[in-house]
Amino acid sequence: MSIDWQNFTPLASLAGGVVIGISAGLLAARSGRILGVSGFVSGLFDRDKEWTARLALIAGLILAPLLIGTVHTLPSALPDVGWPVVIAGGLLVGFGTRLASGCTSGHGVCGLSRLSLRSAVATGAFMASAFATVFVLRHIA
Amino acid sequence: MRPLFALAIGLLFGAGLCLSGMTAPAKVQGFLDIAGAWDPSLAFVMAGAIGVGLFLFRVARRRLPPPSHRVDVALVVGSLLFGVGWGLVGYCPGPALAAIGSLDPKALAFVAAMIAGTGLQRLVASLRLSAAGFVATDVDRSVTAEACGA
């Protein structure tokens, strides 16, 4: 293992994390909702009275990089992988996060902030399999 | 949850993702590649988010039901599957949605597949639930029959 100093951005990443934590905390404090993105996506299938609000949050999430992109060049979003991997990855992320009732935001940020054992187990599991996947991808396959 | 407030939270959350570097799949994979040239940045994202979160969620605890500590097979298997997908492409759900605006065909395909996967899990869960419902109905019937002396 060696540290990739060239791409290491401790301050920006810490600051970004703080902003993420504030947004999740504000939603919890004011609306009593957990900011879990996979849950919000899943909620698009439920046409209840919160449907518009869920869509609005997702719209904000989509708009943010576009607004920031007008004043600051953001790194390319292009994943450097083949089409079958893109599709398989998307299916796994969608299916897996719903089976586990949460993703990086719901379990990783909100759940860990609430000291939930359930979220700690989920976060440990998805981090472990993500590390293992990249290891196989880059060092074995 | 008011739509306008939800929009503002989405904008703030999205800005945080951009600032943190999580919207760049290559950077995410750089963090996950612990055996290669490791970029530890995303550990700082978690530290920042949870550092603030510990305080804010404590303030908000009366607005939320108590956190669950239930650990089951679905939680572990689902999380393991999610991690594989995350590692393969470098997108978790938030950054994937944030990439929609780039109109990058692969990012759009990933989001479409992610929504399809979500729908598929919901379908499987509802089928299992209705199957369980039939079982419960059968039990109810036999209980009712017993109660009637049948």
What percent of chain B has pLDDT above 70? Answer: 89
Residue B147 pLDDT exceeds 50 = no
Using the Cβ of A121 and the Cβ atoms of chain B, whether some distance falls under 8 Å is answered with: yes
Q: Which residue is it, tokens 């935001």?
A: A105
Rounded distance between C-alpha atoms, residue B34 and residue B49, angstroms: 21
Is B48 in contact with A17 (Cβ distance < 8 A)? yes
The pLDDT assigned to B145 comes to 41
Measured between CB atoms, which of A1, A30, A60 is closest to B34? A1
Task: Find the CB nearest A56 among B6, B91, B109.
Answer: B6
* CB nearest B104 (choices: A15, A35, A78): A78
Residue B146's pLDDT band (boundaries 50, 70, 90)? very low
Residue B144 pLDDT exceeds 90: no
Tens of pLDDT, residue by residue, chain A (141 residues): 799 999 999 999 999 999 999 999 999 999 999 999 999 999 999 999 999 999 999 999 999 999 998 888 877 666 679 999 999 999 999 999 999 999 999 999 999 999 999 999 999 999 999 999 999 999 997
- Gap between the Cα atoms of A21 and A39, Å rounded: 17
Q: Determine, for residues B49 and A129 on separate chains, whether the beta-carbon distance falls below 8 Å.
A: no
Coil, strand or helix at A34: coil
pLDDT of B148 > 80? The answer is no
**Higher local confidence (pLDDT), A114 or B147:** A114
User: Would the CB atoms of A65 and B99 count as touching at under 8 Å?
Assistant: yes
Predicted confidence (pLDDT) at residue B99 exceeds the cutoff of 80: yes
pTM of the model: 0.92
- The pLDDT of residue A77 is 60
Q: What is the tens place of the pLDDT at every residue in B12-39?
A: 999 999 999 999 999 999 999 999 999 9
Cβ proximity of B94 and A109 under 8 Å: no
Residue window 65-94, chain A: list those with CB within 8 Å of chain B: 65-69, 74-81, 83, 85-94
In the numeric block, the tokens 């893109």 are attached to: A86
Q: Which two tokens stand for residue B108?
A: 């759009």
Taking CB atoms and an 8 Å limit, are A130 and B10 in contact across chains? Answer: no
**Closest residue to B44, CB basis, from A13, A61, A129:** A13
Q: Is the pLDDT of residue B95 over 70?
A: yes
pLDDT at site A99: 97
- Asked whether the predicted pLDDT for residue B139 surpasses 80, the reply is no
Torsion of CA B73, B79, B80, B85, to 10 degrees: 150
Q: Is A120 on the interface with B (CB under 8 A)?
A: no
Question: Is the Cβ–Cβ distance between B62 and B76 less than 8 Å?
Answer: no
Neighbours of B66 (CB within 10 A): 8
**Between residues A117 and B147, which one has the greater pLDDT?**
A117
Query: What is the arithmetic mean of pLDDT over B81-107?
Result: 96
Chain A CB contacts of B77 below 8 Å:
96, 99-100
Q: Which of A103, A134, A137 to mutate to test the interface with B (most CBs of B within 10 A)?
A: A134
Q: Kindly tell me if the per-residue pLDDT of B103 is higher than 70.
A: yes
Closest CA relative to residue A107, chosen from B14, B118, B94, B128? B94
Q: Tell me how far apart the alpha carbons of residues A4 and A105 are, in angstroms, rounded to a whole number.
A: 25
Mean pLDDT for all residues in chain B: 90
Q: Which residues of B touch A92 (CB under 8 A)?
A: 81-82, 84-85, 88, 117
Q: Cβ separation of A18 and B52 shorter than 8 Å?
A: yes
Which chain A residues have a beta carbon less than 8 Å from that of B53?
Answer: 21, 24-25, 109-110, 112-114
Query: What pLDDT does B150 receive?
Result: 34
Which of B26, B75, B119 is nearest residue A80 as measured by Cβ atoms?
B26
The answer to whether A28 contacts B68, with C-beta atoms less than 8 Å apart, is: no
* Residue B134: pLDDT band with limits 50, 70, 90: low
Measured in whole angstroms, the distance separating CA B59 from the mean position of its chain's CA atoms is 23
